[in-house]
Structure 1
């Protein structure tokens, strides 16, 4: 294999929309799409893949994943939420994302959250996670080589893919259980 370090560097794993990159003025949809396309271009699997489309944004709005926009413009808060959705949609269903972000949207509307501080904390944690992930990939690559004794790069790739998918499934399942806890907590509050 040996390509792991190169893959990690070129895939844009560190890509995140920082607060400094989010304009302090409201943006039209085309501007939002351009901002995300520019920022996350390296994380696309191929050139045809779109980071964000008008349909996606409209579906987020219709599905109430983001609070309503005003005058066809998206605020900093909307962009932060869209950034979170972009990350969450890789592992969670739209319904799970809605459940996860519902309380955040309500707090934004009530002005009961410092969203920028929350988002900075999120960015700090994802930065640490990315560094841990890179170290884990180097360790895992060595483990795969030790498991596959045939010196077959194809078999090493299959083993690495299988191992990564397994880890991804474990993380996704725990995330889904945490979403389920949000649902149970909401239902518990309604019953009282």
Structure 2
């Protein structure tokens, strides 16, 4: 098995769109897609994977995941919302993402809400979470190594990999379920 630290570094965990990297002028869809492809390319699992497509953006617009664009151009706020959608859609359903962002879209259009400040907070949390994740991975690996060594099996590497996959997917499911509960709470508050 590859060293787990190598695998983590290959994941490019801190690949996020920083506010300074987004132009202050409005962009056409192709420009938005190109910026996403350039930024997130290192985090793709397979080289042929697409980060963002016209179809995806059109579906987000039709599904009202972000407020309407003007003159076929996307503002910096649209870009930030698409970035949040990109991060959430790997775990949540599109309906859950829409529910989560509904009030935020209203705040942006009706209250002139400062999305850049909120997004900066998200980036700070993401950076802290990356460090927590790295420590947790080391802890999980140590626990798995201890447990597998007791089995005294010739396929020790495979058993370690199997348990790590099981543990990581289990933790992922815990976080997904917690996120879904919060989405449900958001939905309940909006219908009150």
- Which residue of 1 is the match for residue 105 of structure 2? 105
Gap regions ≥5 residues in structure 2: none
- Which residue of 2 is the match for residue 135 of structure 1? 135
Task: Please say which of residues 95-104 and 144-153 is displaced more in the overlay.
Answer: 144-153
Deviation for aligned residue 1:4: 1.1
- Which residue of 2 is the match for residue 54 of structure 1? 54
CA distance in 2, matches of 1:175, 1:144: 27
2:126 corresponds to 1:122 = no
Gap regions ≥5 residues in structure 1: none
RMSD (Å) for aligned C-alpha atoms: 1.0
Q: Superposed, which structure 2 residues align to 1:132-171 within 5 Å? A: 132-149=132-149, 150=153, 152-171=156-175
Deviation for aligned residue 1:152: 1.3
CA distance in 2, matches of 1:118, 1:176: 21
Task: Please say which of residues 4-13 and 55-64 is displaced more in the overlay.
Answer: 4-13
Deviation for aligned residue 1:2: 5.1
TM-score in terms of structure 2 length:
0.95
CA distance in 1, matches of 2:135, 2:2: 14
Could you give the per-residue CA deviations for residues 63-90 of structure 1, whole angstroms, max 9, x where no partner exists? 0001101111100000000000010011
CA distance in 2, matches of 1:74, 1:112: 16
- Which residue of 1 is the match for residue 36 of structure 2? 36
Task: Flag as ranges the 4+ runs of structure 1 deviating above 6 A.
Answer: none
Could you give the per-residue CA deviations for residues 91-127 of structure 1, whole angstroms, max 9, x where no partner exists? 1000000000001100110134211110100100011
TM-score in terms of structure 1 length:
0.95
- Which residue of 2 is the match for residue 24 of structure 1? 24
CA distance in 2, matches of 1:4, 1:20: 32
CA distance in 2, matches of 1:184, 1:122: 24
CA distance in 2, matches of 1:32, 1:112: 23
CA distance in 1, matches of 2:34, 2:111: 28
2:5 corresponds to 1:5 = yes
- Which residue of 2 is the match for residue 74 of structure 1? 74
CA distance in 1, matches of 2:122, 2:165: 27
CA distance in 1, matches of 2:2, 2:75: 43
Deviation for aligned residue 1:147: 1.1
- Which residue of 1 is the match for residue 95 of structure 2? 95
2:173 corresponds to 1:182 = no
